[in-house]
Amino acid sequence: MTSIGAAVKEPGSSKHNKTGSWRTFKPILDKEKCIDCENCILFCPEGCINKDYDIDYDYCKGCGICAEECPVKAIKMERDK
């Protein structure tokens, strides 16, 4: 996608910009421990957790709010590569 002078030839291409690359820590959910309270879904500032509790790592910036708000500590923050 890089070009000389960083010209972007395709309009509306910001959806290709995977902001998940900004992440330092990555949330890992243990679905066995999950009690389906939806706190993480409600608190996620990026809307990156769906109703099935799948985390969208393309856009999750790793803020850790989900892990903080989980009442049963089902989400761990691990250092991302």
Partner 1 sequence: MIKVISANRAIAEAVKLAKPNVVPVFPITPQTSISEYLAKFVADGDLNAEYIRVESEHSAISAAVGASGAGVRTFTATSSQGLALMHEILFVAAGMRNPIVMANANRALSAPLSIWNDQQDSISERDTGWMQFFAENAQEALDFVIQAYKISENKEVLLPSMVCVDGFILTHTVEPVDIPSQEDVDRFLPPYQPLTYLDPEEPMSLGTFTDPDYYMEARYDMEVAMEGSKNIIREVNKEFEEIFGRKYDLIENYKCEDAEIIIVAMGSICGTIKDVVDNLRHNGEKVGLLKVIAFRPFPKEEIYEAVKNAHRIAVLDKNISFGIGGVLVNEIKAKMDVDASGFILGLGGRDVSPEDIINIINQTRNSTDSGKINWIGLKEE
State the nearest-atom distance from the C-beta of 62 to partner 1, in Å.
14
Tell me which amino acid residue 32 is: E
For residue 67, the one-letter residue type is: A
Strands (E), 13-57: 25-29
- Name the residue nearer to partner 1 (CB basis): 9 or 73: 9
- Binding status of residue 24 toward partner 1 by CB under 8 A: no
**Secondary structure of residue 40 in the 3-state scheme:** helix
Q: Using CB under 8 A, pick the residue from 2, 15, 32, 45 that binds partner 1.
A: 2
Binding mask 52-71 for partner 1 (x = CB under 8 A): --------------------
